[in-house]
Structure 1
Amino acid sequence: MTTVLPVRPGAATELPPGADERSSAGRRAGRAAQLLGRLVVRAVPWLVRGAMVAAVLIFAVLALGPHLLGYRTMTMLTASMAPEIDPGDVTVVTPISVSEVTEGMVIAYHKPIDDRSLVTHRVVSVEKTNGTVTVQTKGDANDAIDPWTATLEGDTAYEVRAVIPELGHLIQALRAPVVTEVLLYGAPTLLVGWVLLTIWRPTPTEDDEEQS
């Protein structure tokens, strides 16, 4: 026997329909992906432009400048002149007359011993006799004066005028075979991609304007 209980009016209230959390989360994820896509599309051209500008500047400093302005660039290999010039820094040197070399200058010259490698040190003493200029030098970070006296050959010496920090590390990295291959094929690809993005840049639709 089944008993039916009477239901009084108003005893039960209708529950509101449950929200679909999965649908809401999907919409949020879609908006986030759309926003991320827009940021990437906008950032890529600026990244390409920045890389191109940096490449042009480096090329101008290292390749064009020495021919047009007469300076030379050299990469510091040791820490003998730290902290003014650290390993990996690039020095910019300009020619001066040998007779103008004075104490306190930082000059680049070939040391007169061993393999006659290039050294960049500060002049601590100068001696001029019969048109010959001999110098003694010292690295700022070294405790002692260099154990040689160098005769500056020819009529020109090279004085350090500027230091470009860390550029030497970038130059060494660019000389690596793997990086060379990447630049050889990657740079044209980036350039083509930048041109295509510039030509076919997406325009905002009405729906995008309403959502924003």
Structure 2
Amino acid sequence: MDNLFKKTLWIIGNVIFILILIFSLTIGFFFIKSKINGEAPNIGGNKMYVVLTGSMVPVFEPGSIVIAREIKADQIVPNDIVAFKDPRDTSKLITHRVVQVNQNNGSLSFVTKGDANDSEDPFVVPADNLTGKVNYWVPYAGYILQFSKSSTGIKLFLIIIPGSLFILGQLLKIIKILKEEKRRKQEVKNKGIMS
């Protein structure tokens, strides 16, 4: 029973090691790709953005990651949280709640507001400025995302973490082999004493 438990733990450890390694390499790939392209990391049509201000507190805090999925503008309804390019400066991205949907001559626009703000945004968001509807957010994970875009972060996610996990896995295998060898020597010694 003891060997079965140890073997199960060893298998679980290896599976966890492989999953962490795959996760690290995948995330690292998408972060490097996003840095090269100058765009937000995009995994399976979901873009990740880091929240920089407190305009949506208490829904999400600064430093959170919001995950926005591309969606057709005509599917947006009031109360949806959307990510969009600021109409005054399209290099700036904002994530606010839609409070009103306007339709004029077949074109859509949106009135938005940050939950923590006292008033609506001082502009109307054209449908073309939408980058996605926010479906999920992860508190404070944005700090990790920002760090991962730095040269130190890239080294950490692509080299140090996977390398450390690989070395740890190899050390665990060596320890297992040494313990097995010690057990075998003890069995041989015990057999010698008995005869």
Q: What's the secondary structure of 2:23's corresponding residue?
A: helix
Q: What's the secondary structure of 1:78's corresponding residue?
A: coil
- Which protein has the larger Cα radius of gyration, Structure 1 or Structure 2? 1
Higher strand share: 2
Structure 2 residue 135 is matched with structure 1 residue 169: no
Residue 81 of structure 1 is matched in structure 2 by 56
The structural deviation recorded for 1:56 is 3.5
Unaligned ranges ≥5, structure 1: 1-41, 207-212
Q: What's the secondary structure of 2:68's corresponding residue?
A: strand
Q: Cα RMSD (Å) of the superposition?
A: 3.5
Change in Cα spacing, 1:54 to 1:121, as seen in structure 2 (3 Å) is farther
Structure 2 residue 103 is matched with structure 1 residue 137: no
Q: What's the secondary structure of 2:122's corresponding residue?
A: coil
How is 1:131-210 mapped onto 2 (pairs within 5 angstroms)?
Answer: 131-153=106-128, 158-182=132-156, 184-185=159-160, 187-201=162-176, 202-203=178-179
What TM-score does the superposition give when structure 1 sets the normalisation length? 0.62
CA contact (8 A) 1:62 1:73 kept: no
Residue 30 of structure 2 is matched in structure 1 by 63
Higher helix share: 2
Residue 13 of structure 1 is matched in structure 2 by none
Cα shift readout 1:55-86 (whole Å, capped 9, x = no counterpart): 5336369839945x322221111111112111
- The amino acid across from 2:86 in the alignment is K
CA contact (8 A) 1:75 1:168 kept: yes
* One of 77, 85, 91 as aligned partner of 1:102: 77
Cα shift readout 1:87-121 (whole Å, capped 9, x = no counterpart): 11111111222112211111111111145411100
What TM-score does the superposition give when structure 2 sets the normalisation length? 0.66
Q: What's the secondary structure of 1:107's corresponding residue?
A: strand
Residue 19 of structure 1 is matched in structure 2 by none
Please, which moves more after superposition, 181-190 or 119-128? 181-190
- The amino acid across from 1:144 in the alignment is S
Unaligned ranges ≥5, structure 2: 1-8, 32-40, 187-195
**Percent identity for Structure 1 against Structure 2:** 24
- The amino acid across from 2:23 in the alignment is L
Number of matched residues? 162
